[in-house]
A = this chain, B = another copy of it.
């Protein structure tokens, strides 16, 4: 079976901060350092890159050269629409000026994407939502979200956009929270160039079954990017692949195969306490191993078990592939 290719968010190689360790988990890091580290991960070729870059004077041309020098490709650009000025929202900010400024920031990311050769521009509206019961006019926020993204999509018809949904953090409750809600929002936009970044961990957090969400998004023609990582379900821990959920990861990989996914799989990790090069290398090693497991899965037997909803038989097929032998009673 086909070999997957890999990418990551450039932030995996940056400095991590949290609300307590305000001094950061490690020193600050330049774009140059982050890109060089990314290049050290065997198999990692693609980067999702934040715009603006590390320092105000940094240009996309410089970043492009760094990528080229390190044999890396820009997969996407992600505008920073969730920093200080956007704490009350980006597309949904109550202040007209900030909603407008959000678009400007996206336009910067579009311009950078062109120079960098990115496949899509990602929206991660992490501050769009609310914090308290009764704080928000939900339909107004919904309209702002749809209108803001639609305007940009119409304005840039040749650019592929993709929304990364998430149910919370940093906003206490985020508007584009689930796969289905995001598909619904996109259907209201009535544009062709807005799709979805489907992050395994965000899906777990949203009480979804990641493989199911991947397939539903694909069924609606909106799958732009597939991302792997792991967490404990309650929060976006951004751990290495299959740290916790092995079977769901295998299921997700089988779903990717079923739709003949050939684009990169992105790794969205925050290795707060691990060496990033090592943590991402590990994820790729694990996926590579799980590709072999998937190769060994008896798909016909799996289909048969699923078609009769025989849970024990379905899991036995996977165990066979893991154990490399048939052991369990049928």
**A136 beta carbon closer than 8 Å to chain B:** yes
Whether B184 lies near A216 (C-beta < 8 A) is: yes
* A interface list, Cβ under 8 A from B: 15-26, 82-84, 86-89, 94, 126-127, 130-140, 142, 167-170, 172-173, 177-178, 180-181, 183-184, 187, 206-207, 209, 211-212, 215-216, 219-220, 232-235, 237, 239-240, 243-248, 250-251, 270, 272-274, 278-279, 281-282, 285-286, 289, 302-303, 305-312, 314-319, 322-324, 327-329
In the bound complex, what is the Cα–Cα distance between A249 and B103 (angstroms)?
36
Whether A83 lies near B282 (C-beta < 8 A) is: no
Whether B131 lies near A319 (C-beta < 8 A) is: no
Question: Can you list 8 residue pairs at the A/B interface with Cβ under 8 Å?
Answer: A24-B84, A130-B309, A130-B311, A134-B302, A134-B315, A281-B329, A282-B312, A282-B315
Whether B327 lies near A289 (C-beta < 8 A) is: yes
On chain B, the residues within 8 Å of A207 by CB distance are 167, 177, 206-207
Whether B246 lies near A246 (C-beta < 8 A) is: yes
Whether B19 lies near A306 (C-beta < 8 A) is: no
On chain B, the residues within 8 Å of A285 by CB distance are 327-329
Whether A135 lies near B309 (C-beta < 8 A) is: yes
A89: nearest chain-B partner, CB-CB: B309
Whether B87 lies near A21 (C-beta < 8 A) is: yes
Additional pairs, 5, CB under 8 Å, beyond known A25-B84, A172-B239, A178-B180: A20-B126, A131-B239, A132-B244, A135-B306, A172-B235
Q: List 4 A-B pairs, minimum CB-CB distance, nearest first.
A: A180-B180, A180-B181, A135-B311, A138-B212
Whether A307 lies near B21 (C-beta < 8 A) is: no
Whether B315 lies near A135 (C-beta < 8 A) is: yes
